[in-house]
């Protein structure tokens, strides 16, 4: 699965975006990191953030893949409606500049990669799959203001692909392995998919849009399940 974090000294590995985000946060805190934690200090608030992050995964992330993968127009439109509801719920429950307050947190990190790439849906599925810029009592304005703030953060901005270039090279990809060594800790290896210029293998985004992606998520959505409900045995690489 991508992403995966591997501790090369112990052989221990974890996958899944939500789990990896929390692991990185805990590693940073354990090694004296000065950045604010991605999770609140209060146990009840931490639990609420985890629930909200999982809700983003189920409503927005899974709907994103349905719009890309499912062949029936009616299903795509229903999934896009669910996606918009998920974004509005996120905006409505946000407590400040970011979901949990003044700094970027777990819930923001879960949504941000998908929020930034929603232009892909309009590119492949047409203008009916573009997000509103206003309405719903100001919630769309609040959502877009959040996205602007998040993507303007220097440590976020330098990870984002240029949109035109991303679509231009949307048929190219490479799996890249990066090593991060933390002071007083073991080296951790991160495996992730990154948009790169040619050559290399066909890009997953285009494969999803064409119904050809042979990933666990792609296989699950093609058979009618949600992306977050993939089954290792049923949806393994085919």
Express each pLDDT in 178-203 by its tens digit: 444 343 444 555 444 333 222 223 35
Q: Which domain holds residue 207?
A: 4-229
DSSP 203: P
Task: Give strand ranges (E) for 105-199.
Answer: 174-181, 187-194
Strand-pair category, 13-15 with 174-181:
unpaired
In a domain, 118, yes or no: yes
In a domain, 208, yes or no: yes
In a domain, 85, yes or no: yes
Q: Which of 103, 80, 96, 85 is nearest to 142 (CA)?
A: 96
In a domain, 235, yes or no: no
> What are the residues whose beta carbons fall under 8 Å from the beta carbon of 65, sequence distance 6 or more?
208, 217, 218, 221, 227
Q: How many CB atoms lie within 10 A of CB 210?
A: 13
In a domain, 237, yes or no: no
In a domain, 234, yes or no: no
The CATH number given to whatever domain includes residue 45 is 1.20.1050.10
* Number of independent structural domains in the chain: 1
Q: Which of 52, 157, 151 is nearest to 95 (CA)?
A: 52
> What are the residues whose beta carbons fall under 8 Å from the beta carbon of 138, sequence distance 6 or more?
none
Judge contact between 217 and 207, C-beta under 8 A. no
Instruction: Say if residue 16's pLDDT is above 50.
Output: yes
Q: What is the pLDDT of residue 195?
A: 30
Question: Could you report the per-residue pLDDT of 47-88, keeping only the tens digit for each?
Answer: 999 999 999 999 999 999 899 888 899 999 999 999 999 999
In a domain, 151, yes or no: yes
> Taking the model in full, what pTM does it have?
0.76
Question: Could you report the per-residue pLDDT of 136-174, keeping only the tens digit for each?
Answer: 999 999 999 999 999 999 999 998 888 877 776 554 443
């Amino acid at each position: 699965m991508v992403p995966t974090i591997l501790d090369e000294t112990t052989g221990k590995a974890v996958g899944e975006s939500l789990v990896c985000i929390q692991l990185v946060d805990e590693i940073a805190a354990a090694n004296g990191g000065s950045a604010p934690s991605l999770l609140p200090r209060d146990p009840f608030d931490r639990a609420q953030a985890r629930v909200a992050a999982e809700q983003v995964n189920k409503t927005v992330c899974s709907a994103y893949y349905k719009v890309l993968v499912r062949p029936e127009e009616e299903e795509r439109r229903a999934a896009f409606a669910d996606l918009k509801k998920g974004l509005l719920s996120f905006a409505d429950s946000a407590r400040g500049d970011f979901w949990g307050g003044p700094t970027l947190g777990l819930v923001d990190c879960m949504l941000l990669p998908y929020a930034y790439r929603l232009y892909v849906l309009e590119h492949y599925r047409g203008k009916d799959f573009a997000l509103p810029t206003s309405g719903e009592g100001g919630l769309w304005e609040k959502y877009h203001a959040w996205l602007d703030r998040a993507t303007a953060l220097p440590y976020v901005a330098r990870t984002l692909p240029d949109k035109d270039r991303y679509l231009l090279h949307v048929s190219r990809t490479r799996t890249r392995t990066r090593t991060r060594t933390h002071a007083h800790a073991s080296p951790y290896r991160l495996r992730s998919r990154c948009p790169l210029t040619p050559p290399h293998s066909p890009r997953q985004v285009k494969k999803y849009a064409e119904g050809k992606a042979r990933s666990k998520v792609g296989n699950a959505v093609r058979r009618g399940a949600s992306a977050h409900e993939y089954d290792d045995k049923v949806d393994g690489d085919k």
